[in-house]
Homo-oligomer: A and B are copies of this chain.
Amino acid sequence: MAQLARSAAACVIVGQAQREAAAARGAAIVCADPYLAYARLTQWWAAQLRRPAPAGVHPSAVVEPGARVHATACVGPLAHVAAGARIGAGAVVGAQSHVGEDAELGEHTRLAPRVVLGRGCRIGARGLLHSGVVIGADGFGFAPTNEAAGSRWEKIEQLGAVRIGDDVEIGANSCVDRGALEDTVLEDGVKLDNLVQIGHNVRVGAHSAFAGCVGVAGSARIGRHCTAGGGAIILGHLELVDHVHLSAATVVSRSILKPGLYSGAFPFDDNASWEKNAATLRQLHGLRERLRALERKTAP
């Protein structure tokens, strides 16, 4: 309410509860869900401001024989579309982006400049991949040779791909690796922020959203409507059921089978306090033993 009174905006979007107060100060849009209305207003605004990508292939782009580009799609300057790739109606391949062999871009999906959609990877309709995204790099798979002379790593070729649903958005410089045998999957409506890492054979359920710098190791299965705060890490081969929420920087080291909010960041402190507490933490198990001994000693 104080914010409302201070605002110099010509018009405000408010909920029913603020109707009176808003009307008292001037023009107002009153609606059930003001934040959602704000989102839709930004979409309207963006549509006014931005020139739509022109249909057609820029003369500097390289579209290989055997690629199919819809007549209403846009392939930007210096983009590369490899053989067998399919670019859907109204889709945009941004400047300097690469669409690999047999990859598929759904209708009205946009690649910002300098994106990679790797060989055989598919994304559905109305998606948005920001600059620097890499879909379909090899998953991290190696078998140790266990030689007497010291082990080397033998590459496990990654024979799967990445399959992405509709209405998915992926932030700048994020990576989704191709699967080892089967595909890595992002279901409909998934939203990933920047610098997120999704390992091979991960499955992320519909409408889950991960903030920046999140890492998900190979073969983890994440449910629907999950969220993860910045820098959270989910280890490999774990399961998270639907509606699991992770605070920033939480390291998930075993499966979470119950919906809810989970946390695990170390509470920061001024350096001197942290040093004392951290040093004591290294003796914590011993402290518990000493406490137990005391308890026994003072027991009646």
Contact = CB atoms under 8 A, between A and B. Distances in A.
A5 interface: no
B46 A159 contact: yes
A108 interface: no
Contacts of A112: 116, 137
- Copies of this polypeptide in the complex: 3
Interface in A238-256: 246-253
B271 A281 contact: no
Contact of A271 (B39, B263, B267): B263
Contact of A140 (B150, B189, B212, B281): B212
A284 B285 contact: no
Contacts of A249: 233, 251
A89 to B, nearest CB: 20
Nearest to A269: B282
Interface residues of A, number: 125
A280 B284 CA distance: 7
A95 B268 CA distance: 42
Contacts of A251: 231, 248-249, 265-266, 268
A57 interface: no
Nearest to A83: B51
Interface of A: 33, 35-36, 38-40, 42-43, 45-46, 49, 51, 58, 60, 62, 64, 76-78, 80, 82, 95-96, 98, 100-101, 112-114, 116, 118, 128, 130-132, 134, 137-138, 140-146, 150-159, 167, 169, 171-173, 175, 177, 180, 189, 191, 193-195, 197, 199, 207, 209, 211-213, 215, 217, 224-225, 229-231, 233, 235, 246-253, 260-271, 273-285, 287-288, 290-291, 294-295, 297-298
17 contacts: A36-B145, A39-B157, A78-B80, A96-B96, A116-B172, A132-B173, A140-B193, A153-B189, A173-B175, A177-B194, A233-B248, A246-B268, A248-B251, A253-B267, A262-B268, A280-B284, A291-B291
